[in-house]
Amino acid sequence: MAINFNRAEFVLSAASAKQFVRDGRAQIVFAGRSNVGKSSVINRLVNRKNFARVGATPGKTAQINYFLIDGKCYLVDLPGYGYAKVSQAERERWGQLMESYFQSEGLVTLGVQIVDSRHKPTADDITMYEWFKSTGCPVIIVANKLDKLKKSEIEPNLQRIRETLELSEEDLLVPFSAEKGLGKEQLISAITDLME
Ligand code: GDP
């Protein structure tokens, strides 16, 4: 299925299970640690600046944003995790929302997990990856901020991500730079292939 990512519109923000969208369209679900560049990756995919923040109310970290892509499928933006300055109450809201999201059957068609190519994936990254795998959906790992690596660091760092997350053979690891636009075509074609 060809998907035109340039045709993207904000639909709604869900703060609880009753707002989760279920209309039969496929759902591509994006997750990542706060500051990993998740919004930048999404903005790069849809070719717009400040797009992924459109639905986000400042301070509201515990909500799931839905964007309709090309009238065909949803891009689902899960709230970022691991941000040190978030209050305990907000952290708990995040946990409850994620629990109800991943306990709901049939929401995730494809997971896209964004990690920082400079660092070893965190314990939270591993948990998120396992949540995706528990749904049985395919997962694409996006190693963002590749432009910050020296050439000689790229392969070892990608290998460290594979090993730490214990990626299976069928999981794709896409080196990416939201800043430079690197990896965009590979990510779009991987998403498109997996949606067929
Ligand atoms: P989010 O919290 O995961 O949505 O992260 P943002 O998209 O807001 O990005 C966090 C910071 O990382 C911003 O200062 C971005 O400009 C920067 N950033 C995001 N992607 C890249 C990248 O590929 N390369 C570099 N050098 N910086 C990036």
Tokens representing 115 are 């990690």
pLDDT reported for residue 84: 76
pLDDT reported for residue 60: 62
Q: What is the DSSP letter of 182?
A: B
| Entry pTM | 0.96
Contact 165, 120 (CB under 8 A): no
Å from CA of 34 to ligand 1 middle:
9
Instruction: Answer yes or no: is the C-beta of 147 below 6 A from any ligand 1 atom.
Output: yes
Reported as a pLDDT band with limits 50, 70 and 90, residue 196 is confident
Residue nearest to atom 6 of ligand 1 (CA): 37
Tokens representing 99 are 């629990």
- Name 77's bridge partners: 30, 65
Which architecture, in CATH terms, is 26-195? 3-Layer(aba) Sandwich (3.40)
Å from CA of 33 to ligand 1 middle:
11
pLDDT reported for residue 54: 54
pLDDT reported for residue 106: 93
Strands 8-14 and 26-32: unpaired
Contact 115, 31 (CB under 8 A): no
Higher pLDDT, 128 or 195: 128
For 111, half-sphere exposure in the C-beta direction (CA atoms, 13 angstrom radius) is 27
From CA 172, how far away is CA 120, in angstroms rounded? 17
pLDDT in tens, 102-123: 999 999 999 999 999 999 999 9
pLDDT reported for residue 56: 56
Mean pLDDT of 73-83: 93
Instruction: Answer yes or no: is the C-beta of 79 below 6 A from any ligand 1 atom.
Output: no
pLDDT in tens, 140-180: 999 999 999 999 999 999 999 999 999 987 789 999 999 99
**Cα-Cα end-to-end distance for the chain:** 6
Collect all residues with Cβ–Cβ distance below 8 Å to 18 and sequence separation of at least 6: none
pLDDT in tens, 15-69: 999 999 999 999 999 999 999 999 999 999 999 988 887 555 555 678 999 999 9
Instruction: Answer yes or no: is the C-beta of 36 below 6 A from any ligand 1 atom.
Output: yes
Candidates 26, 93, 25, 23; CA nearest to 64 is 93
- Name 23's bridge partners: none
From CA 2, how far away is CA 144, in angstroms rounded? 24
Residue nearest to atom 26 of ligand 1 (CA): 145
Instruction: Answer yes or no: is the C-beta of 35 below 6 A from any ligand 1 atom.
Output: yes
pLDDT reported for residue 41: 96
pLDDT reported for residue 13: 93
pLDDT reported for residue 97: 94
Q: What is the DSSP letter of 5?
A: T
pLDDT reported for residue 153: 98
